[in-house]
Amino acid sequence: MTNLSKTCKNCKQSFVLDEKDLAFLKKVGPTVGGHKFEVPTPAFCPDCRQQRRLTFRNERKLYKNTCAFSGKNIISIYSPDKPYKVYANDIWWSDKWDPCDYGRDYDFSRPFFEQFADLKKEVPCLPLLSKNSENSEYTHLETDSKNCYMNFGGHFNEDSHYNLHLFYGRDTLDCYWSDKAELCYSCFKCFNAYSLIYCYWCFNCSESAFCYDCKGCSNCFGCTGLRQKKYCYFNKQLTAEEYEKKMKEVELTPDMTDFYLEESKALWNKMPHRNLVIENSENSLGDLIKNCKNCEYIFETDDSEDCRYCDVAGLGMKDSFDITRAGYEMELCYEVMAGTFLNRTLFSNFFFDHNNDSMYIDNCFSNDHLFGCTNMHNKRYCILNKQYTKEEWEELLPRIIEHMMETGEWGEFFPSSLSPFAYNETLALDYFPLTKEEALAQGFKWKDPDPQEFSEQKVKVPASIKDTDESILQEVLSCGECGKNYRIMKEEFLFYKKMGLPVPLKCPDCRMSNLLKWRNPHKFWDRSCERCKTGLKSVYSPDRPERIFCEDCYKEALV
């Protein structure tokens, strides 16, 4: 088997499918009714495949909508101008309706994707995915949480707000992908953290601020690369008394916050950086990965084996390629956006809780043997939401796959035109930024902002939280970056008081977007270790200021 060079249908750049890619495509091809179907080589390059999947994920945009079943007001990821029916969560999960009532016969005179688009506009959608949570109606992709607001993609949180992928958080705000974090603010990938402010990649740390890549540290300020240290100020060792005196001089106004961020970033740039963060992994290429084996081109993924082209995806993935925002015991899956406990599921979007032997499904839960179905749960042997017997399903599906081969649809993920969201509502904008003009020129949809959300701010926010009282809760503020209006909640205000933080001058969405800028690009460059000159791969491009070390030299430098 030899490598195959192709030109991406979207970006027109060349890309290569090597022996591992080609072997996987052959292996993952489904067998239906005794017919073995091979998956064709992809028409899109890995980046464009990723971008296409991301256009289906609205993670942080919520809207007021109306339940099409009861007429009650609900919160939804679908804005009311979208042509989709939305049912309240309790109705959607109930037996008051049946998604099979919307089933239809497959029309061999029309392309599959065209038929699927028509079906999706008819079957009621789940407004949010939020389970086992209390007093947390403004959360999405969140489970088992209490008293949370605008949290997305997290679990087991309490009294926490505006976080993305927070797990076991307590009284924490504006954090990204942190675990067991309490009293933390604007932290990026911090684990077992207590009372951290503006910290990045810190483990088992407490009572610290503006720190990067520290482990087992406490009472540190503006530090980088420290291990088991206390009372350090911009990597200078102080006594407890000296440190306490320094901290009494610190007042976090917006201007001083920006100053400390710049100073800590300058120190960070001087310190050695690992070319890639790979921990306890074998024969793997990626960044921010742990406990992986034989994996390549993966990012923010753990406990996986024989996987490729995966992003923020994985706890127990095996033999799966092109997976985005998914994981938990997934095997032999391909071109998947968001799913858990999966086996042999292909070309599908947003499905959870044991979906097996299914293809081209969307927003489905606890099913198997589905094809071209949307918004279903606890179903088997359905096509376009129509119920079949096992024998009927196995007789019809091969004919449909052959028809899709003729139309050129077989083997490709849903086209972005089928996404219910505009480009700027989805994660595609975070990873592949485009202006409105660029997005429209590339065939994506765009949602213009509501002018009513951009009224003029009528109050000056005090620079210090000491000078701010609860009257700020009555004010409509305007984001200093995008101009959009936002308000301060009482719980949020009390958190700022407790932590000595100023009321933010930017809206929650801009704050999260700025925090995500800490995330390195999900691509590789050829670099050399600054110390030993060994050639290596890195997520740091050659034009960046960071000093790049190989793993061994990095460990030696921090001793």
Q: Is residue 24 part of a domain?
A: yes
Sign of CA dihedral 47, 52, 57, 59: positive
Domain count, the chain: 2
Question: CB–CB of 32/401 below 8 Å?
Answer: yes
* Three-state DSSP state, 456: coil
Q: Is residue 335 part of a domain?
A: yes
Distance, in Å, from the CA atom of 346 to the CA atom of 337, rounded to the nearest integer, reads 10
Tell the residue number behind the tokens 């506009």, with chain if given: 121
Contacts of residue 190, defined as CB under 8 A and 6 or more positions apart, other chains included, come to 175, 178, 181, 184, 196, 199, 200, 201, 202, 203, 205
- Which of 158, 257, 263 lies closest to 501 in space, CA to CA? 257
The DSSP string of 247-312 is HHH----HHHHHHHHHHHHHHHHHSEEESS-EES-BS-EEEEEES-BS-EEEEEEES-BS-EEEES
Q: Is residue 511 part of a domain?
A: no
CA trace torsion 261, 251, 188, 531 (10° rounding):
40
Walk across the sheet containing 206-209 and list its strands.
164-167, 176-182, 191-197, 206-209, 218-221, 230-233, 236-237
Residues lower than pLDDT 70 in the chain: 1, 314, 327, 559
DSSP H or E stretch at residue 48: helix 46-54
Last residue of a domain, which of 369, 394, 416? 416
Q: Is residue 297 part of a domain?
A: yes
pLDDT in the model for residue 559? 55
3-state SS, 335-360, equals EEEEEEEEEEEEEEEEEECCEEEEEC
Distance, in Å, from the CA atom of 11 to the CA atom of 7, rounded to the nearest integer, reads 8
One-letter amino acid at 303 equals D
Dmax (CA) of the chain: 80
pTM (2 d.p.): 0.94
Domain that holds residue 19: 4-45
CA trace torsion 203, 209, 212, 213 (10° rounding):
-20
Q: Is residue 268 part of a domain?
A: no
Helices (H) and strands (E) in the chain, counts: 12, 35
Length of the chain equals: 559
- Which of 134, 177, 169, 121 lies closest to 153 in space, CA to CA? 177
Question: CB–CB of 127/87 below 8 Å?
Answer: yes
- Which of 462, 463, 468 lies closest to 257 in space, CA to CA? 463
Last residue of a domain, which of 386, 416, 446? 416
CB atoms inside a 10 Å sphere around CB 318: 18
Distance, in Å, from the CA atom of 133 to the CA atom of 155, rounded to the nearest integer, reads 9
Q: Is residue 332 part of a domain?
A: yes
Question: What are the pLDDT digits (tens) for 348-378?
Answer: 998 877 788 999 999 999 999 999 999 999 9
DSSP H or E stretch at residue 302: strand 296-302
pLDDT in the model for residue 341? 86
Q: Which residues pair with 368 in a beta bridge?
A: 356, 380
DSSP H or E stretch at residue 181: strand 176-182
pLDDT in the model for residue 211? 97
Contacts of residue 438, defined as CB under 8 A and 6 or more positions apart, other chains included, come to none
Report the Cα 443 to chain-centroid distance in Å: 23
One-letter amino acid at 423 equals Y
Distance, in Å, from the CA atom of 438 to the CA atom of 435, rounded to the nearest integer, reads 5
Q: Is residue 30 part of a domain?
A: yes
- Which of 418, 373, 321 lies closest to 41 in space, CA to CA? 321
Q: Is residue 439 part of a domain?
A: no
Last residue of a domain, which of 416, 441, 474? 416
